[in-house]
Each structure stands twice: as structure tokens, then as C-alpha cells.
Structure 1
């Protein structure tokens, strides 16, 4: 039996016998010839089947019809079809999975890739219900209800191939630069960040919490002498937000490095990773992304623009927008405004907003020696939306305890975390980045639901 060939590889083969398998996208059932567009995980190909002509007076195999003997009653059964393949094709519903053997032929007149397969054999693997529950104009919520069907679309398929390429490029950079990959636990005895965003669950005789980030364990790796680490894994936030960029479960891209001088070292690492990821995506998928999303992937130049937060807020105000917050943070519209300014001024899609106020940053962010009101931290803004937070961490135990107390935290409740710093730890820092946000903004999509395999939000736990 001829082994199955991915459709994307057919164009490299010579004319001849071939076997393909996938699902039916369309059927054109004409009087003399039938066409099927077959799609698999790699692309689509046209199948063609010329109908057999039914010879006058011919039996099932085209031989002369036998006349029943006078003593035999005539059969009331319908004669067997002379073209069972045609009958099968006529009955195919969209989405039916089939395997096909046939003759591959290169023909530049064929609009779909310049090739076609003339069917010699066809087997139905599983039949699909004829009427599908979603259509091209279905709402996003409806499409999410039937996500497995939605994901059959070429655009959706490309998103996850692109995601694979992006993640692989990051991992390749890390590995080539001697980073250690870690897998941190997602069940925790206490909060990793804010208690307000914790999911709790019964854990034998006690209560456990789903990790909001691998923050504590990334820093533990620095105390362990690992030097440079990374993780790509799930994170959970009990945040009842219904925005286009929030999820209750998401994939977090994290890295932490030792022996740094400031948050500038973390930003340099972040830049290098983004350049590696965007370069790989552009090289492998740039043409497809341009065709299906009408988006040109631009590899960002380095260094990325850097703007202290206070200056960014002044720039935004000069553009006519006052950030309506009681604290010192930026808001989403402010992020969009500063991104517009950076595009106009520097022609860049990225900007680091730096030096966030200590009042709005966690206790473990290091502060400037000359201005303790500011932290050595940043947010990375991409196409108008924050995708990451990074910082140099405070590694001096006495300063760390003082900053925790200033935030109203009881050092006794931070015992295991503070132990990391009581036995020696180098100066270090890192970042956490939301994978779905990067993909959403890279493709100019309107929601992270479009680029998340199975989205989880305040009102969605299925499929």
C-alpha cells in the first residue's frame, strides 16, 4: 500500500501513483466529472474523477446483459452501480475524512497548486453530518463552542504552526546560550503574586492555589546557582476581566538570569529573543501570513526604544490624552498612544516603558539607588498593548524584607521565599510574557481567543 503523502509535499513528486488523506472541503458533482477539494494539516489539493459512461444494455461491468431463463423470475433488485467511486463522491459531506489513492498529475491549468490527483480508489474513514453548526459569519462565541471545526480553517491552522515556529526559535536561542529549561509546579501552598487573583482548590486536608506565575521558582533557580533559566508553561489568574487580552489560563513565557548590572541586561535578553522569534516566523511563514492575514511580519531592529514611564505619560498628555488613573500606572489607551508616538517617531512596533513607580510594582523589584521611588523595571509594549513585565529583582535580604513590610506584607508569611536570599544569591532579573498576546498583536487579530487553542475565561470552561 502506498504510504500517505502530506499535500504540501505533492508538488515535489513526479507524476504517478500517490495516496493522500484528509477531510472534504468542497465537492463539485458535475454530470461528466467530479471535483473534490481535499484538505489535510498541510494544505489542500484537487481530486478529480471522470464519471464512467453507462453503456446501453450493459451490466454492472459493461458486459452484455444476461437474459433470465424462462423458468427464472426476473430480479427486482437494482443493478449494482457501474461507478461506485462516483456514488461515494456524490454522498460526501463537508468535513468527512477520507483516504484516496490515485494518479498525481502536474498541470499548470489547475488553480489549486498546479497539481491534481485522479482518483482510482476512495475510502471513507468517518462520515460528517451534512449541516455544520458554524459558518464563516458565525460569532466568535459560536466558533469557540465548536472550536475543533473552527480550527480546520487555513488561517487557524497557520496560527498554531506559526506559534510552534516562534516558540522553537526562543527555545533554540535559550539552548544555544546555555540556559537551563525548568518546569515549575502549578500547585502552590501560597500566592506567587497577588492574593486577589488566586484560584484555590481542595488539596487533601488543606488548600492549594494555582500558580499565577513561576516567579518564585525562577528566582529559586538563581539561588541554586543555575545562572540562566527559562520556562514556557501555563499560568492562572482569577481575574474577572472580559477584555480582548485577558484570560484566566494562559501560556507564560518566562526567563531569569544571574549576574546582571541592571534591568538593561534583562531588556537586552528580551530584545534578542523577540528578534529570534520574529525572524523565524517571517522566514518560514511570512508569505502565508501576508496571504491569509494581510500582515507583513517585520523583524524589529535593536535596540528597542526606551522611554521612562513619567516621560511617556507627558508625551501622551501632549498628544491630548490624560491618563485617568489615581495611581502612577499607564492605562490601555495610554499604551496605544505611546505606541503611536513611537511608530511615528522611530518607525518601531516595540517600546520599553521603564522606571515604574515603586508604588505600583511588587516588593521584590529592585529600586534605583538615587531615587527609591522608582524601580528598575519595565513593561514591553507591542503594537499598543503590554505583552510583558520585567525587572531586576531585589537580592539583598534586608532590603527585601523592608520593601515587603512597606507593602503591608508579613515577612513571616514569606518565609520559604525569603530563605532563598539568606544563603546567598547573585544579582538577577527576568521577565514574564504572555504568548497569546504576542501572537494576537503579531497577526493584528482582535482577541487572544483567536490565537489560543482552547480559551479559558470567566464564563468559558468548555470545550
Structure 2
């Protein structure tokens, strides 16, 4: 008789019956009279209890090693054990793949070495498995909102013939005798889609940044969530879209995983109210000055400490974990950001901070061809490498704007993780290209 697999979380429905469980050996306690094997699948843990009898089953259990993949068939019984008050009395054991010993990592292993053995690290830690379940639900929630707004999901090229945006921080690679570049953003292609008549565009896909940054929030390859919206009245339309999308997605995560996140991470997820607070960059600088920073040290942009201080101030003043910082200076924004008519030294742009960490950059784009040419020239950029991009604005491209959000950073804040390394399956940084 072939028995179908039963997940450990469903064992209570099978008390008194014989079932087959598939999973990994979590731990072994091989006593003089009884053998205890804790088996783990992706739904939980169960104790397998076998009284020694000098039989073949005893020998099989004795030969097991931690993390071996096994199939155990046995009867489910109630028992006074911590693991759900159930145990399995085994009738047959099949070793599907014996794990080598000793294991290369344990509970005390530091993160860099754990990343060398990421498959084991994720397998052995329920919190890590939960993180990917949360990631899936978060993306699902964002897609749901975008679809409901009539957005089209696009898949743009990651190989480019010219360096995108400013040309800095891009990876160059050989391409049939010439150079190609890995896209550091789908920005230009999103805008081409707008010019193609696709009114609302979004993409969830890989982004590459050749930044020699060794911080807890930077990666050389990450997943970006990008949105572009046509026929907007102003940058406010873009911010409203993002805050509603995030509120919808975070609500979905809370409903699906809130209790598990509380148990595994000790984090209470708060669903944000909308609208989020908005402050111009000039006001952010005032906040920093009033918090005790030397005004001479306040730069045009916000550094990580400045972001943390601004975020903390807004949370204390409003109770809100999010804040849009708007109207960044022209000097630190790309040439394609639109500038307000009443103050061309600024841009109609924003960053979104969540608990003091920047998770998004967005703006209204400049859609007028002649203005784009002028602004590119002001940045010292030649129009020729930008020709394919600029051509998209010569034949009636509508007003539009969009945003780019880092999925790893969102997960970092959502789950209270210390590093983006923990919010990524296989992290890529300046010193890490493996596994």
C-alpha cells in the first residue's frame, strides 16, 4: 500500500493512524533504552520514539545523522511531549539522503560563514523560511494592488548597449566583441513603455549596482519594485500610488503571517495609515539642525544617520513610521527629474523613509524633449549615447512619474533584520559571488 505524505502540522488529524512523514533529522537522542529522533519538515517538528529491541529499525535509527533526508512511516499517538503533544511510533525508516558529518554550521555560526552554506542556514532556521513566505505574500500584495489599478506588468532588458542613467556604478561585460552593461534600473525602459501607450507599468525584477559599498543595506544585485504612471497631474499621484500599494501589501502580510512574525522575530507589524507624512528636504535639514547637528555639516542629501534622525522625529511628532522627503536639489538628482517652474534649483522628487531607512526613490519625470536635452547638457552628458532614450520623448510622450523600491530593504524593516544579507536568499556584494 502506497501512503501519501502527511505534513507534520496536520498530524493531529491522524491520531491513531499510520502515516508517512518526509523531512530532515533535526536532532537525535540515542538513549540506552529508547531512541528519540526529532524530524522537521517545513511545517513543524515531531518526535519519533522507538524502544530498543535489537531489530533492524533500531540499527537504521542508530545510523542516522543530523540533517539527513528521511521518510518515516509510523503510528501517530498522543504523548506528553512539548512538540504538539504528539509522537510517532515508527514502523519503517527510509534514508533518502544521508547527511555528512559534522555539519559546517551551527547555531553560533556568524552570518558571513552562514552565507557560505546558505541552503543549510535557511533549512535549519524557521525564521529564515518564514522570511521567504513573507516576501512571497508581500510581492503578491503589491501585484494585487497594481493589477487592481490597471497596471501592466513588464519585463525589461537587463543587458544594455549604453550605461543607464549617469553611467556610473554599472557592470560592464563583453558582448560579441563589444561592451554591454547590466541595467542598474529599468528606468529608461519603463518610460519607453509609457511612451508606447501603456499607461501604468510595473516590474519586479533584478537590479545591478556596481557600488563598492560594504554597508548593511547595500547589495550589488537586488530585487527592485519599479512603477511608472502616465497622465499624472504631479508627483503627488506617484506618492499616493506607492503609499496605497504598501498599505495593501503590508495588510496582506499581517493577515497571513502576523502571528508567525511575532513569534519568530518578536516584531509586531503595524499597518500604516494613509496618507504618509510629507516634508520637503529643506524642512528635513531644519529638523537635523534643531536636533543638534552643526548646520555646516548638513549636506544636500541625507546620509544614513540623517535619515534615522528625520524618521525618528516624524515618528515622535506624528506616530507614523513612514515619511516622504520631497524636493531634492537638482545637484543630487538625475537629469530626467522634472523641476518646479517656481524653483528650478529643486526637483519634483522624493525618497520614502521607513523607520529611518530609505526604501524608495521616485519623481515626476521630465517628458519634454527640449527640456531633457537642456538638463542633460547641464549635467555634462552627451545626447548621443542617450539617443534611443531621448527619441521616446520626441513624439508625444505624456506627463508621467514613477518610483523604484528595494525589496530587500522593505523586508529588513518589516522583520527588524540587521542586514540586507538576511533579507536575500543568495546575497551578492563586492566580496561575494558565491554560492
**Would the TM-score normalized by the shorter structure come out above 0.5?**
yes
1:117 pairs with 2:118 = no
Q: What SS class does the counterpart of residue 316 from structure 2 fall into?
A: helix
Q: In structure 2, how many angstroms separate the alpha carbons of the residues matched to 1:100 and 1:133?
A: 25
> Contact 1:321–1:334 at 8 Å: present in 2 too?
no
Q: Are positions 1:133 and 2:71 aligned together?
A: no
RMSD: 1.5
Query: 1:27: which partner in 2?
Result: 28
* SS of equivalent residue, structure 2 residue 24: strand
Aligned to 2:9: 8
Match in the other structure for 1:383: 355
| SS at structure 2 position matched to 1:285 | helix
Q: Which residue of 1 aligns with 2:230?
A: 258
Shift of 1:359: 1.4
Question: What residue number does 1:68 align with?
Answer: none
Report deviation, 1:106: 4.2
Aligned residues: 433
Change (3 A) 1:14 1:319: same
| Correspondence list, 1:358-373, <5 A | 358-373=330-345
Distance 1:324 1:451 in 2: 36
Which sections of structure 1, spanning at least 5 residues, go unmatched? 53-81
| 2:281 pairs with 1:280 | no
CA distance in 2, matches of 1:352, 1:323: 22
Deviation of 1:117 after TM superposition, in Å, equals: 2.0
Structure 1 residue 335 and structure 2 residue 335: aligned? no
Q: Which one of 183, 193, 213 corresponds to residue 211 of structure 1?
A: 183
Residues 392-403 of structure 1: pairs in structure 2 closer than 5 A: 392-403=364-375
Moved more, 109-118 or 146-155: 109-118
Please give the residue correspondences for 1:393-432 in structure 2 after superposition, counting only pairs within 5 Å.
Answer: 393-432=365-404
Q: Any conservation in 2 of the 1:97–1:124 contact (CA below 8 Å)?
A: yes
- Unpaired runs of 5+ in structure 2? none
Mapping 1:419-458, distance limit 5 Å: 419-458=391-430
C-alpha displacement of 1:323: 6.9
Aligned to 1:46: 47
Spell out, residue by residue over 1:129-178, the C-alpha distance to the aligned partner (whole angstroms, 9 max, x if none). 22111121112111111111111111111111111111111112112222
CA separation of 1:325 and 1:401: change in aligned 2, threshold 3 A: farther
Q: Give the alignment's TM-score, normalised by structure 2.
A: 0.96
Cα displacement string for residues 209-233 of structure 1 (whole angstroms, at most 9, x for unaligned residues): 0000100010011001110111111
User: 1:323 touches 1:330 (CA, 8 Å); kept in 2?
Assistant: no
Within-5 A mapping of 1:29-178 = 29-52=30-53, 82-107=54-79, 109-152=80-123, 153-178=125-150
Contact kept in structure 2, 1:325 and 1:331, CA below 8 Å:
no
Asked whether the 8 Å contact 1:21–1:40 carries over to 2, the reply is yes
After TM superposition, the structure 1 stretch with the greater mean CA deviation from structure 2, 29-38 or 310-319, is 29-38
Q: Which range moved further: 273-282 or 228-237? A: 273-282
Deviation at 1:9, TM superposition (A): 2.9
Task: Answer with 1 or 2: which has the greater Rg.
Answer: 1
Instruction: Report the more deviating stretch, 13-22 or 128-137.
Output: 13-22
What's the offset of the Cα at 1:440?
0.9
